[in-house]
Structures are given as structure tokens and as C-alpha cells.
Amino acid sequence: MAAGGRSISPLSTSILVIGLLYFAQSIFVPLSFSLFIIALVWPLQAALKRRMPQLLALLITLTVTIVVIVAVGSSVIWGFGKLGHWLIVNASRFQAIYADWTSWLDERGVAVAGPLANHFDVSWLIRFTQGVAGQLNGFAGFAILVFIFVMLGLLEVDDFNARLRSPAAQPYGEKILLANREIGTKLRRFMVVRSLASVLTGLVVWGFALVAGLELAAAWGTIAFALNYIPFVGPFIATIFPTLFAIAQFGSWQMALAIFISLNLIQFIIGSYLEPLLTGASLAISPFAVIFAVFFWSFMWGISGAFIGVPILIVFMVYCAQIPSSHWISVLLSADTSQFKKAES
């Protein structure tokens, strides 16, 4: 009976933790993002503190952080705003082409698309736009809460590290301190590589859209830049949208197919060759683990979870590697073959 209880306890605990993270996401999502931001910007504040008072260093760090987030967020909102405006203006063109395609499918016995055509109209587009606007308004409150957490967290980092070094916290304190340092290094490298790849993807997609004559070239580049931060899923969505709009613009499935193949080729070269080359072995993660993290945290926390899913996976892997009993989990989730060689030796 006791043995059975011990075998069930970890599973029950995991279910309870997952349920807590899901139902209390209004707290845990901004908290996760704030910890993620703190890990990214802490070296800047630490460097500034050596030359100026702590509060002034904190003010500069927060200002730089806000400027970067606002700049990226504004470009994303602009891109999707241009897309939404074009969609509403050209809704009749979309509906006509969609009706022709569904009629063509109906003639060949594919009747499932017919009823959908009745819902693809301007009113649906307006409701969709209003829903996006509501989400943007909710993001303002989310951003304020993240800002408060980041500000308080940056003030607490030194004191927290001092408590981890205290004799009363040993030996776990030193292990947590080392793990946190490794996590910070990996998260910063992950974001630098991801940002470089996203900027490059956005520029290449923008240039390709100009050459192909696709309307809203700058918007497509901006959307590709933003969605590239979500592994696998984001780049795929960034190729679907231009393909659908190419159908409405050119009225040719051959041209739409060519654009779809070209955009996927761009995403493949940058995502499958350049990013791993820049990332190196230290951030080599199993592709299956990455996909699972993106979908799992998307289910838990929506778009926010899709964005932060891989950073959470990195944190999980680092902590598992620090504990001998769970080191095997880190090895299984990693795509670094050197870990297998170490284990064999």
C-alpha cells in the first residue's frame, strides 16, 4: 500500500501542478515572462551598477527594456494592422474567389467547404478584428503587471543571490546559483540567435515579396519576423498567410503554390541550417521536445505559452541536469551527441 502510494504521488503532484499553472495563468504567465526578461537584462544592470547608483542603473535598464519591447511590439501591431485593413478592403474579392473554389469542390463531391463560404463575409472579418483589438487591450494590463514584476525582481537579484550563498542554504543554494547562471547564459544566447534569425527572415521575406509582386511586402516581412520567435508553428503560419493572400491577389493556384514553396524554403534554410550553426551544441534540443513544448504551453497559456515554451524547456533541462536522479531526462531532451559520449565513458 505504501509502495503504491509512493508510485502514485509524483503523478498526482504533476497533475496538481499542471492544473495550478493552467487555472492561475493570470499570475504565472506574467511571472514567467518577468523572470525571462530579468534573465535577459540582468547583465546590463549589473554592468551599470559598477558605474552608478543602483536606482539609476535600474531606471536605465527598465527604459532600454521598454524601448525595445515597444519598438518590436509596434512593428508587429503595424504589420497585422496593415494586413487587417487590406483584408477588410478586399473582402469581396476573397469571398468571390472562395465561392468559386468551393463550387469547384462541390462539383467534384467535396461538399464540406460549401457551408463555410456562408460565414466568410465582411461581418465575420469585422468580428475578428474586434476580437484582436480586445486582445491588444488585454495585453496592456499584462504588460503593466510584467513591468512591476521585472522592476521588483531586478531590485531583488543581489539579495536573492546572497541568500543562496549563505551557509544555511547549502548545498542546494550553490547548485541553484550555478543553475541560474547557466540558465541566464543559455536564455540570452537563445534570444540573440532567435532575434538574428527573425530579423534575417523578415528581411528575406520582405525582399522576396517585393520581387514576386506580392502586396503588403513590408507587412509580410514584419509578420515573418514576429512569428519566427515561435519555433515550427510560427514560421509555418507565416507562410500560410501570404499564400492565401496570393490566391486573392493573383487568382492563380500556381502562383500561390510557388510563393508557398519559396517561403517554406526560406524558412527551412534559416531555421534548419543557419540557426543551428549559430546556436551550437550548448543549446541543442531535441526537435520533438521543442514541438511538444510549443504545443503544450500553447494549450496551457495560448500565444504567450507558444512564445515562452522553449525558454521554459531550457530551464527545465538545466535543473534536471543539476540533479543526478533526473540527469537522464536532460540527456533525452538534448540533441547534443557529446552528452551520450560522456555517459558511455
DSSP per residue, 47-73? HHHTTS-HHHHHHHHHHHHHHHHHHHH
Give whole-number Cα distances, 188 to 123, 243, 249, 283, in Å: 44, 33, 40, 11
- Predicted pLDDT at 150: 93
Given a contact cutoff of 8 angstroms between Cβ atoms, the answer to whether 320 and 327 are in contact is: yes
Q: Of 231 and 300, which is predicted with more confidence?
A: 300
The amino acid occupying position 34 is S
Can you tell me the distance from the alpha carbon of 149 to that of 222, in angstroms, rounded to the nearest whole number?
29
Sign of CA dihedral 333, 339, 340, 342: negative
Please write the tens of the pLDDT for every residue from 276-329.
777 666 677 888 888 899 999 999 998 888 889 999 999 999 999 888 888 888
- Predicted pLDDT at 137: 58
Can you tell me the distance from the alpha carbon of 154 to that of 39, in angstroms, rounded to the nearest whole number?
9
DSSP 81: H
- Predicted pLDDT at 5: 46
Cβ-proximal residues to 318 (8 Å cutoff; 6+ apart), any chain: 179, 182, 183, 186, 330
Can you tell me the distance from the alpha carbon of 45 to that of 311, in angstroms, rounded to the nearest whole number?
21
Mean pLDDT of 117-121: 51
DSSP 285: B
Q: Of 51 and 248, which is predicted with more confidence?
A: 51
Can you tell me the distance from the alpha carbon of 79 to that of 76, in angstroms, rounded to the nearest whole number?
5
pTM of the model: 0.82
Whether residue 119 has pLDDT greater than 80: no
Query: pLDDT tier at 114 (50, 70, 90 boundaries)?
Result: very low
- Predicted pLDDT at 86: 79
Query: pLDDT tier at 138 (50, 70, 90 boundaries)?
Result: low
Whether residue 199 has pLDDT greater than 90: yes
- Predicted pLDDT at 251: 75
Q: Of 166 and 89, which is predicted with more confidence?
A: 166
Pick the closest to residue 36 from 174, 154, 202 (CA basis). 154
